[in-house]
Homo-oligomer: A and B are copies of this chain.
Amino acid sequence: MSEGRPGSAPDAVTEELDEAECLRLVAGQEVGRIAYYGRFGPTVLPVNYRFFEGSVVFRTGAGSPMDEDLRTGIENAEYRIAFEVDEFAAGLREGWSVLIQGSAHHVTSPEECAAVARAGVIPWPSGAKNAYLRVRPSRITGRRLRHGE
């Protein structure tokens, strides 16, 4: 059912994206948003990231609220989080979004630290951001919003 929108472009059509296309889009962006349950409840914050060897890698300050809120305090137990990347053209009312669901893994072992350092994530904000976080997707979904012919 199309809702009336007098004098403007027709509504856009939503199409589901497959995993390969989702990951291609995620690999091409720099800023995503991590959502988790923090000390003030549900929280979404942008981070600059790299998609590296099948996972999202970003950095935060060691001991920062995000770093602490994402530590379960139990070895090998990780919080489930969501990571979102999108791109929209406001004028066109078109765009796409990808949602990655997975666990927030703190990189701590020397081997893994060396590996993720190769991702080359340089935080945009100043200040030490020495805590590396890695999200390996357990579920990947995405949609594109586009006007028909």
Report which A residues bind B (CB closer than 8 A): 1-3, 5, 8, 10-14, 30-31, 33, 35-37, 40-46, 48, 80-84, 86, 88, 90, 93-95, 97, 99, 101, 122-129, 139, 145
How far is the CB of A20 from the nearest CB of chain B, in Å?
20
4 further A-B pairs in the complex, CB-CB below 8 A; given A5-B122, A125-B145: A14-B125, A33-B84, A35-B42, A44-B83
Question: Which residue of B has the minimal Cβ distance to A94?
Answer: B124
In the bound assembly, the distance between CA atoms of A3 and B122 in angstroms comes to 9
Residues A99 and B41 in contact, CB atoms below 8 Å apart? no
Residues of B close to A128: CB separation below 8 A: 1, 3
Residues of B close to A94: CB separation below 8 A: 124
